[in-house]
Amino acid sequence: MAIVKRLALCLLFALELVCCVKHQASADLFDPNKWFNPSSWSSPTTWPFIPVPEVATDPVGGTTIGLLTVFLETDANHQITRIFAPDLNYNTIVGPGGTLRYLAYPSSDVQWFGIAGGQRADAAHAEFDYASGMTHQDWWSFEGHFLFQRDPTYRFLGLGNESNFASQTNYAFEQLYLETIFDLNITSQWQLALAVEPWFVRIGHGALPALPFTGDVFPTLDGLGGGSLVRTRLFLAYDTRNSLQIPTRGGLFSLFVGGADKSFLSSFTYAEYGVDVRRYVALTKWLIAAFQLYARYLPTGSDVPFWVMSWLGGDGSGESSLLALPLSDSVTWRGYGAGRFIDPNVFAGSVELRTRVYERDLFDTHGILELAPFFDFGQVFQGVWDNPVSNLHPAGGMGFRALALPYVVGYVDIGYSANGMQFFSGVNYPF
C-alpha cells in the first residue's frame, strides 16, 4: 500500500543524493538560466538534472527498469529543500509507464510531497501528503494524506500463519483513501492524536495470467466485494527520538485504539487496539542499534475484510505517517512482500545494526553510507488469547543505505527467508 516507496527505485538514486547534490546547490529548482545556458550542458557534472538508471525488483510488483531524472535544490545550510524526480519506466507485469514526484522540505517542522503516475496495464496512483508541527514544539500538529491507487499485482496466499506459498492468487486492489491526523502536543514528548480515515476499496481481476483470481480460489473470503470504512483511531505516544526521519537515539512508545462501525458510514464493524515500541541506541558514533516491537489486535468483528486485517510482510518503508504514527496495517517482515501472512492479529519485531561505513561533506550536503544487517520476526494469529510467539517466522539480511542529512534516506534491503531471497528498494527507514 505504500506508494511513497516508489520515490526511489534503486540504491543508485540514493548514492546520487549523497554524491551529486552539487547540481542544484543553493539555486532555484527550475531556474531557466540553468536550462538555456550552453555552459551548463557542456559536462554531465553541470547538467540541470541527474540522470539515474532505474533497476529495481519487488517480491510482488515485479521488476522495473527505466530512467529517473532527479532535480535537487539545497539551501544555504547545504540541506535538501526540494526534489523533483519524474521517470519513464517499464515493469515486467504492468508494462510501460511513468511517474511524477515532488518532495518539499521547507523546514524541520513542515514537509509535504505529491506523486502521480500510471502504467499501461490499468495501474495508476496519485498521492499527496502534508504535515505540519513535526517537531512537536507547538501545542498542535496536523497531517493530511490523500491516496488513489489501482494496482493489479496484489497477491493473496490464504489466511493464517501457515498459509501455503504455493497457493498464490492474484487480484487488483483499488482504493481511495483520505487520512487526517490532529495531534495535541501535551509536551514536546507526549502526544495525543486522533486519526480519521475514510477508505473506499474495490477488488477486481489482476494482471497475472499465470495466477488464478483470488475470488475463484477463495470465494468465501470476506472483503472480496470491496467496501467502505470511516476508521477512527486514538493514539497516545511518548516520543524521545532526536529525529523523525533519521533517529540515532531515543525511542517511541505508542498505544492506539480504534475501529469502524456500520452505523457510521462503514460497510463493516470492528474494533482494534495495539502498541508500537521503537528504540534507538548509539553504541558508538558509527554504530546505531535500532529495535522495534509491534502488536495489533482485532478483538471484535466476525466479517472483517481481509484488507483490514493485519498483514505481515514487506519493508515497511513509508507505511506510517510523517508524524510517525503506526497507521498502516502492513507490518515489516522482509522475507516477502506485503500480505505474505494475513490474519486478524499480528506480533512482529525487527533488529537492525545501522553501521555508518563512510561519512563526509560532499559538495553541498552531508552524506553517509550505511550498512545495516537486520533480523525480522513475526506471526499472525486468529484468537486474541493465542500465543503471539508460538510460531514466529524469521527473516534476515543486509540493508544498504545512503543518507543525505537531515531528512533523506535511500535504501536497498536484501532479505532471506523460507520463501527465498527478496529485494526491496525505496526511501525512508522501515522504522
Retrieve residue 73's grid coordinates: 535544490
Domain that includes residue 215, residue range: 109-427
E strands of 28-122, at which residues? Answer: 50-58, 62-74, 80-84, 87-91, 95-104, 110-119
Is residue 342 a part of any domain in this protein? yes
- Residues paired with residue 395 on neighbouring β-strands, in sequence order: 376
Is residue 73 a part of any domain in this protein? no
| pLDDT in the model for residue 142 | 94
Q: What is the CATH number of the domain that holds 417?
A: 2.40.160.50
Is residue 194 a part of any domain in this protein? yes
Question: 19 Cβ partners below 8 Å, 6+ apart?
Answer: 362, 363, 367
Which residue bears the cell 527473516?
395
Give the Cα separation of 291 and 298 in Å (integer).
Answer: 24
Is residue 41 a part of any domain in this protein? no
SS3 383: coil
- Helix ranges (H only) for 218-303 are none
Is residue 282 a part of any domain in this protein? yes
| pLDDT in the model for residue 361 | 64
pLDDT in tens, the chain (431 residues): 333 344 344 444 544 444 444 444 445 666 666 666 666 666 655 666 777 777 777 778 888 888 888 887 877 777 778 888 898 999 989 999 999 999 898 988 999 999 999 998 889 999 999 999 988 889 999 999 999 999 999 999 999 999 999 899 999 999 999 999 999 999 999 999 999 999 999 999 999 988 999 999 999 999 999 999 999 999 999 999 998 888 999 999 999 999 999 998 899 999 999 999 999 999 998 999 999 999 999 998 778 999 999 999 988 754 556 666 666 778 899 999 889 999 999 999 999 999 999 887 654 566 788 999 999 999 999 999 999 999 999 999 999 988 877 777 878 899 999 999 988 877 788 88
Is residue 75 a part of any domain in this protein? no
Retrieve residue 425's grid coordinates: 528498494
Is residue 319 a part of any domain in this protein? yes
| Residue 78 to residues 81, 363, 365, 367, Cα–Cα distance (Å) | 9, 9, 5, 11
Give the Cα separation of 343 and 329 in Å (integer).
Answer: 11
E strands of 123-189, at which residues? Answer: 123-132, 140-156, 169-185
Is residue 1 a part of any domain in this protein? no
| Residue 430 to residues 80, 170, 316, 326, 387, Cα–Cα distance (Å) | 21, 26, 5, 11, 26
The total number of structural domains in the chain stands at 1
| pLDDT in the model for residue 1 | 37
| Farthest CA pair distance, the chain | 70
Question: 103 Cβ partners below 8 Å, 6+ apart?
Answer: 7, 82, 83, 85, 111, 112, 113
| pLDDT in the model for residue 11 | 44
